[in-house]
Amino acid sequence: MKVSAQHAKLTTIAQRRFRGLTPHEIVTFLNQSLKQRGVIFGLRQFDDEWELTIYDGDDKPSDS
């Protein structure tokens, strides 16, 4: 399947190859690559399960 054939030209934000990767390496890469766009990823492990959370880093608390 060719992704580029189904979409307009896609702009690469970041790219990295992994060998023997761990979930922490992926989350670190995503955080480093998307920090300026206001996206933050969190990762927690519960026994043999992983929880991935995506935060809006630009979300400012309201002054109510």
**What is the tens place of the pLDDT at every residue in 17-52?**
888 878 999 999 999 999 999 999 999 999 989 999
Assess contact for 26 and 52: CB atoms under 8 A: no
Beta-strand relationship, 49-56 and 39-46: antiparallel
Alpha helices in the chain (DSSP H): 3-6, 23-34
Report residue 53 CA to chain centroid gap: 9
pLDDT of 1 above 60? no
Q: Is the pTM of this model over 0.85?
A: no
So what's the pLDDT on residue 21?
Answer: 78
